Structure 1
Amino acid sequence: MRSSWFKRLLLSYLPIFIIVITFTFFVFFQLFSEQSRKEASNANKMLSLQAMRLVDTSLKVIDNMVVLETINSKPLKDFFKSNTNSDPYITIAAVQKLKEMITYYPLIDSIYMVRYTDGFVLSDATNSFVKDYADQDFIEQYQISKTPKWTDGRNFEQFKMIGGKQVVSLVRGSPYMKNDLGMIVINVATESLHKLTKDLYDTKNSFIQTQDTSGKLLFGSSMNEGGAEINSQYVSSYTNWKYGSGLVHGGLVRFISSLYNVWFVIGLLMIVMGLLWMIYVTRRHSKPIEQIAAKFSSYSLPIAGGGARRGKTDEFAFIESALDNILDQARQYQQKYQEDLHLRTRDLFHQLIDGGANLTLVEWELEAKPLKLPTPTGRCQMFVVEIDKYGDFCNNYSKGDQHLLKFTLRTVIEEIASKLDSRLWSEWTSASHLSVMLFETPEANLDEPTTLPQLADQVRGWTEQNLKFTITIGLGPLAEIVNEIPMSYKACMEALKYKTVLGENRLISSEDIASQGQAEVYSHLGAIRWLVQSFRTGEDHWIEEYDAWFMQLKQGLLTNDEIMNVMNYLIYFFGREVSGWSKEIQQMWAQESLPKLSEQIDNGYSLDQLREGIKPVLIELYDTIQQMRDTRQHTAMIREMRKFIELDYANPNMSLEFLGEHFKMNAKYVSKLFKENTGQKFVDFLIEMRMQEAQRLLTETTYSVQEVAERVGYTSAISFSRVFKKVVGYSPGEYRTDHLRRANG
């Protein structure tokens, strides 16, 4: 039925489509043809103008060259001033000049000169007298008219055996302006001019023809026949020649343009035919609409804006309003049904796992059918999927990505279950928990101990391999009846409480919890106090006690909340001990150690992670406390060493070994402590003390250099002088002399 209506409508309106497309094609073709004709006409105008300018420019260049040569060329001047009896070299030089002019201007076909004194004619190829020269008539005509312009086309025959050629000639007198000694005739072949303009156009589409002042074809193509016509024509102000151009098939173009009226009439006819066809088709298709309106006539509906106009009912408005009302009601019902379906599904799931629904298996089946849920069976088993490190999951992904990943996880669980011939029902019961209800089927017998673990482990492995997070799955016991489902769900959630101890990215069942011994929280408080005590007294074995305590925690079975309470107690006990220490340690604890420990505990998701995160913070605190203790002891020791050196610096035996023996310490350790606490090496400090005293003795006493050296700890004056000059920059004698000179002015 639908195919029949489609074909009928398609075949009804297809002729109108063809008519419109055809008319559009004709209009486009006409516009394109007219535009092309205008562009061709403009191109021909530019072609004629360009050809005229090119020819005029070339001829003007030759004209200017001839004028300049008649004025400046010595060989030409000498020729016109000489006679038959003159030096033959003058003639040779003139011929050479003519050849140079032809070489420099290839457009020139030939040149000859006429000397009036004896009628001698000299060209680039021969010489003669006017009465014997082939161009005698032209020479005599010019002597009468003397018009210095380019001539019309004429036949020039220099040698009878070669024949003549069509040329245009330029005649210039010599000398310039007077013109009484002779004349120069420049011949340019019209064929050369034709070649000059031939590269400007495509001879297959356009043509150029040039006529002289008499209307004779000078060069170019004669295209007045064969359908061609001239579209543009220009007259040169320099030569008075006419330049015309046009299209080779101009007649055909004109004929096509003349069809515009025919195409217009055809277009009008097509429009009329289209209107008639639309009237016919509309009349034919209106009958089913009238039948539909008749069926809706019994439907009572108030129409906004009035349903009648001028006493007649508006059937279309009535049908539209009725259909809109029906569709709107159906849409609202469908939307409400979908919203209620989702809410009813989640509500039923929560009632089943929370124990709030006292349903029998039959009642459950009746509820599941309209909600499009899996048909429940007599027995089922629960497991809950928890996203590990959910805080990091929320920080690493946007809201949209979180929803997408959760949807992917839920879909993957359903696909894996279908591959294992299992049926399940899953719902997100919290932000990080996906609760799944696995139903028993003939293919998946829940009595087999591998059914649920196999499904759960495949889900866990796929998530770890393909997604950027891991999951921990809590497995509940088998529920024989509907009322045991809450117990199975509660067992799943209870199993997940021990994830911190048992580890993430694994399966945890109620059997795993029952098989391990329960540990009391209070049993760990004493271990914490002992650990803190060892830490406070500075015993290095506190790290072994720390690791042993975490091993004890791992062997026990505390819930996640209990582990957090134990960790918080650890921080509390450390803080209480630190409160009795120095202000520096208390400040370091409050500003550095306590925030780091709190951050590690808040972000810790397993015992191993907590152990590895807390340990470096405590080690850093321990090392700092020990360093402070050592620093206080060493500072006092170094202070005593400095006083000892200041009092006994004149002792020649003063050295690191001497200090070490005096203070019962290793010499290398003394050097290290001295450098760390004073920032200066022991040797540099001793030399500085000695040199300061030496400068005082040299300026305030009359002791000799040897005596000064002995008083500051040197047995040799040479050694003393070398060290003094290295430190002060002067020898002891120079230093004393310089001081006395400055003191005396």
Structure 2
Amino acid sequence: MSRHSKIFRSFMISYIVILIIPSLAGYMSYRTSIAVTQSVSIENSVTQLQKSQQMLERRMAEVEGFSRQLALNQDLYVLMNEKKGTDDGNVYGIWKIMKEVMVFGQTNDFLKNYYIYLRNYNVVLTPGSAYFRPEHYYENDHYTEMDLGQWQSEVLDKTHSREILPLKPFMMNGSQTSVISYMQSLPLDSFGEQPPAAVVVLIDQKTIASLLSGVMDRYGGWTYVSNEAGDAISLNGIGESDIKTMNADSAFDKSKQSQFFKDDLVITIRSDSTGWIYRAGIPRKTLMENANRIKYITWSVTGGALAIGLIAGWFLSVRNSAPINRLLGIVREQFGKDAPIGRNAYDFLQGNIATIITSNRELEQELNRQVPLIRDAFLKRLIAGEFQTREEIQAAAAQADTGLALQEGFVGILHVHGYAGLDTVEILNELSAARLLLKQSLREVDTRILMTDFGSDRVVAIFPTGEGEEASGIAGRSGIQALLEPFAAFMFGEYKITVTGSLGDHFASDMEVSRSFEQAKETMAYADYMQRKGFLWFADIRQESTTYYYPLDMELRLISTVRAGEEEEAKRIVQSVLQQNTEERELSPEMANQLVGELKGTLLKLLDQKAFSESERFEEAKQHIMDIQLTGSIDAIRSELHGIIEAMCRMIANKKNDLHIKTVEAIKQFVAERYSDAELTLYRIAEQAERPEKYISQLFKEVTGTNLSDHLEKVRMDHAAAMLQDKSLTVDEIAVRVGYNSAHSFRRAFKRVMGVAPSAYRQSLD
């Protein structure tokens, strides 16, 4: 610590300054807040209650507006004045009214529970249902102090004009609550004993109380609302008996806006529009002692914050200076430089890090410069069929940054004419320029086309086709033909370069690119021999041969794909071989039998390898291969070959699964043995397993369903929980024993995994 004291002191002084500045500002704010708090507490309480009053009256006005809108609703007017027939009535009209009034409750929570009673239909309409008997509605929702008859006579059969029923107990959807009821007969000018319709809005006492909760949330206490007759509209935090006691007390002046009654400051507001009385009671202690509490708490918090801030500053200074010191040591070691650590330490780091960044940029530029060469090498290997599996192709394509996935397409060879037999330096330079012009112009036509040189006067072009095109390539062929013919005309008209081409058949997988390339070469040789110009397709030179098509590279790819467990790719290769020998060639029965024998031989050679010979199904698969005979249709043979490939790929998958499980178990064993090592990282585990880090992480997740880092943390926490039973060990000692350099990090990890802090867990054991 003495060697790095200047860095430590610079951090510590910074933290102390940061602590002092807000402390001074906080003290000034505290003095101001004390004075303001004492003077405005009562005023704020009155204002808060007035706001709650305005909100409540505004909502009640919206409820009254709702009843007026219903009175003006033509559909409802027609419905409540028409006579009910012998059938169930105007069901559509009832449904339409329900749909129209359902939206009102979305803007005002006072309108969430209401019902409309239509006397002629004897139906009760609610936002979600229609009850064709009032007693059905009464079964779900009713006043607990009213029976069915009282409810019908007092609410449904009686004329109401903006009448509000005071707070009453109510059973709503099976739960007990209290509501006030706004009642209005329809139409509005109804004066008869039994109006045609009535709308009743049920306003839950809890909803009203929520509008008055501002005072209670801020100060506690209680709120009370009553009508002019003194009937309760809302009670929250106080009983009705307490209200009656207060009103009967001679010491309580009902006309005062604010007064102290017993231990409460009682604020009273009377509404000019409704005549309702709003009262709020705020505990005297809460109201008047807030200022003193601020005073006491401020001094305590300030002193505690300074103490904690100094401790935290010391801890952060140590922690933040440590990595800088380590970084200085690493930089000096790597660059072989020695510099004073004092005030020049940051300059020393800045200079060396700038050097690292510059070197990294130079390396990145060099890599970018090499990308075209890597891409060209990748394309040459691809058309040559040097890749054995799709995974290998995908990895190489990503490295070459080809920019697209070769799912399907065509391979063509474009030939620049007019330079045959000429090998002078000038001609070769001109030919190189012609090839470059050809590739640039073709790339401008379609940026997806991949190209590489093939000899001095030829270019191989891979034409990817989009999704949805037929496997036969008809749509792709017509599109490529429409692209190449204008392109050839452009090259001749613009640069006087004559371009012809040959194209292979459609490939349905990146593993079949080499086959399409070989077909393009064969087509090019045919075109040269026959002196054909323009663009010629392999399908246009159908072969009639007495020999079958099954080249060595096709056999090697089939072996590689089966060994890799790539079932679909292996089936495509078999399909391609059979298609070449049935659709592109006319084989004699003897040649067909030899082809089947060759395919059987390939599968038998595969089966003799160790990956299959140790399987329990080895003999069954071998017999299945031996039983294949050219006695049925080609579809039957294809089905047999596909079945054998499926069985062999399942053997590979089972072997991989067993190997994966063994690898994961070895990882678990290594973690169990080395969990106490603070340097145990994913890199160390991958190094032990002799696999890449990304592979290890994905494999562990696939097999166990858990991230490797989570598993390591869980193992450490399980051992820590066991060690906490030994009270002779401190939490810091346990943190070190389970692989944590920081006790703070250990505590956070323990609480995240176990749900409680280590100290609380130890107490729970007692």
> Computing the radius of gyration over CA atoms, which structure comes out larger, 1 or 2?
1
Q: TM-score, normalised by structure 2?
A: 0.26
Task: Give the TM-score normalised by the residue count of structure 1.
Answer: 0.27
